[in-house]
Chain A
């Protein structure tokens, strides 16, 4: 099953809509609740990142009976140093992102903790693509 969502820059009101929809689909498929939580937490973190740091982007989700693949691809400033961005506590978030309860430099590390496969591809001035997989 393939699902696509559009993420708009700065649109915090709708942050999490894709994750919420994926959660409903996985529940209907009777996927184990602990796996659902890992999927939606990781996807939500990625969604919030695309809204907070980039100029919008796409969320692409492919669900099979044994795994979920998620791609969050943004048009954005890109990440100059991915290893640094993966470090807990490193953040470049603006004050308004912090006002929403995010921007503590925990997003990418938390995605890593929740998924079975994480791949971050980024080009400065072009954008960032986060690919994630969780096995059911």
Chain B
């Protein structure tokens, strides 16, 4: 599924990464716990309600570069700067984690396990 379609499906805002919206995404992982993100061997799209600079830093370390921030959390300037340095995509939507995951799963995005 193209990122552009995900933006439409979730009525999301593109915080950064406009130039990558034609990329395809197959897998996603949802967690507010960065310790869990650090145990992943794969590099899925991350769906999270944790909205701080450590979210971005953790993704950088775990080589994840597409992040959906749920529950209408405010993405800060320092997050955007770090994301820009690492060529990441950050989308932000107002839906709950559950609804976001449900919509994406229904649209064919696969879990890791």
| Interface: A20 (CB within 8 A) | yes
Contacts of B32 in A (CB 8 A): 101
Give the total of B residues in contact with A, Cβ under 8 Å. Answer: 20
Q: Mark A84-99, 1 if CB is under 8 A from B, else 0.
A: 0000000000000000
* A104 proximity list for chain B (CB < 8 A): 33, 35-36
How many chain-A residues does the 8 Å CB contact rule pick out? 22
A15/B54 contact (C-beta < 8 A), A44-B61, A104-B33 known: yes
Interface of B is mostly: helix
| Distance to closest chain A CB from B55 (angstroms) | 7
Distance between Cα atoms of A100 and B38 in the complex (Å): 13
**A13 adjacent to B35 (CB under 8 Å):** no
Q: Assuming A16-B61, A23-B61, is B52 touching A110 (CB within 8 A)?
A: no
Name the residue on A nearest B50 (C-beta).
Answer: A101
Q: Is A33 an interface residue (CB 8 A)?
A: yes
**Residue in B37, B54, B63 whose beta carbon sits within 8 Å of that of A100 in the complex:** B54
CB distance from B48 to the nearest CB of A (A): 8
CB contacts (< 8 Å) of B55 on chain A: these are: 101
Residues of B near A101 (CB, < 8 A) are 32-35, 37, 50, 52, 54-55, 58
Chain A residue with minimal CB distance to B63? A37
B106 contacts chain A at the CB level, 8 A cutoff? no
Give the complex CA separation of A13 and B55 in angstroms. Answer: 11
Residues 28-41 of chain A, each 1 if its beta carbon lies under 8 Å from chain B, else 0: 00000100010011
Contacts A/B (CB < 8 Å), 11 sampled:
A15-B57, A16-B57, A23-B61, A37-B61, A41-B38, A41-B62, A100-B34, A101-B32, A101-B58, A102-B33, A102-B35
Residues of A within 8 A of B (CB): 12-13, 15-16, 19-20, 23, 33, 37, 40-41, 44-45, 100-104, 106-107, 110, 113
